């Protein structure tokens, strides 16, 4: 079983250095945070969508399409109850829905979508190792970056174990669909205990396995990765900075609020 969202294509976005991609995604999120009006956020959404198409990452976006729709709906439905405004649309007791609230809700739904899609864009085009290495270059301790890659690497194995454990306990008659609320929650113990027990029991062995392959927390790690900043990277970063600058200016001038 593999769970990584990385898609092995050769697009211009795949060729970018991971640092450029992280900073660009950050820039996209800043754009999304600067505006709250749905029209402007729709434009940012379009920009991210173009990125997804050109990175051939539509497959991943399809995978989470339901999530995107639901996040949009949560936001669009919930915010109007909490945002005040002048243009009343509906009132029931103390609950007041205004046009401003609805607009804000739509905008925030789009903002959530932009952020999630930017994340998907990054994960679809960046190998986990490159991602971890970039975090390291941004100053995160190497051991921490390594732990993130290790954890990522073990998740599919553990999902496999969970499926085995669920099958083993079901075959012994464990049925989480019956019983009271408390019974159901406590019924998770026969699933979670073998998972943690089985995993933690291997801790020493895994630590030995790591050191047998040369890993030491104190040891400097040299990267043989070919990735380095090219003209394309600098170009993309320049465009990102210009976009953020222009958007900031527009926002200060009162647009997009």
Provide, rounded to whole angstroms, the least separation between the CB of residue 148 and another protein: 6
Region 8-27 residues binding another protein, contact defined as CB under 8 A: 8
Both tokens of residue 16? 């970018």
Decide: is 200 part of the binding site for another protein (CB under 8 A): yes
Radius of gyration of the chain from Cα atoms? 23
| Residue labelled with tokens 């194995």 | 157
Region 65-124 residues binding another protein, contact defined as CB under 8 A: 66-67, 70-71, 74-75, 78-79, 81-82, 108, 111-112, 115-116, 118-120, 122-123
How many alpha carbons fall within 13 Å on the CB side of residue 29?
15
> Please, which residue, 3 or 252, has the CB nearer to another protein?
3
Distance CA 59, CA 8 (A): 12
Provide, rounded to whole angstroms, the least separation between the CB of residue 57 and another protein: 13
H helical segments located in the chain? 12-15, 18-34, 38-54, 58-63, 65-78, 99-125, 128-137, 142-170, 181-186, 189-200, 203-212, 231-252
Number of chain residues interacting with another protein (CB under 8 A) = 105
Region 122-161 residues binding another protein, contact defined as CB under 8 A: 122-123, 127-129, 141, 143-144, 146-159, 161
Provide, rounded to whole angstroms, the least separation between the CB of residue 195 and another protein: 6
């Amino acid at each position: 079983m593999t769970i990584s969202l990385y898609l092995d294509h050769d697009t211009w976005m795949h060729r970018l250095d991971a640092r450029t991609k992280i900073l660009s995604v950050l820039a996209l999120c800043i754009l999304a945070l600067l505006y709250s009006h749905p029209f402007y956020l729709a434009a940012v959404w379009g920009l991210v969508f173009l990125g997804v198409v050109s990175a051939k990452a539509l497959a991943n976006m399809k995978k989470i399409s339901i999530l995107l729709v639901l996040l949009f709906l949560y936001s669009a439905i919930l915010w109007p109850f909490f945002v005040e405004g002048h243009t009343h649309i509906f009132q029931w007791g103390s609950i007041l829905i205004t046009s401003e609230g609805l607009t804000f809700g739509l905008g925030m739904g789009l903002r959530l979508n932009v952020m999630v899609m930017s994340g998907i864009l990054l994960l679809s085009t960046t190998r986990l190792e490159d991602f971890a290495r970039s975090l390291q270059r941004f100053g995160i301790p190497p051991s921490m970056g390594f732990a993130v890659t290790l954890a990522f690497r073990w998740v599919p194995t553990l999902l496999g174990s969970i499926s085995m454990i669920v099958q083993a306990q079901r075959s012994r008659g464990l049925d989480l669909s019956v019983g009271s609320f408390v019974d159901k929650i406590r019924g998770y113990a026969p699933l979670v205990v073998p998972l943690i027990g089985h995993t933690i029991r291997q801790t020493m062995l895994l630590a030995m396995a790591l050191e047998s392959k040369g890993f030491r927390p104190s040891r400097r790690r040299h990267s043989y990765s070919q990735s380095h900043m090219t003209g394309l990277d600098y170009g993309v970063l320049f465009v990102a900075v210009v976009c953020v600058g222009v958007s900031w200016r527009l926002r200060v001038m009162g647009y997009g609020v």
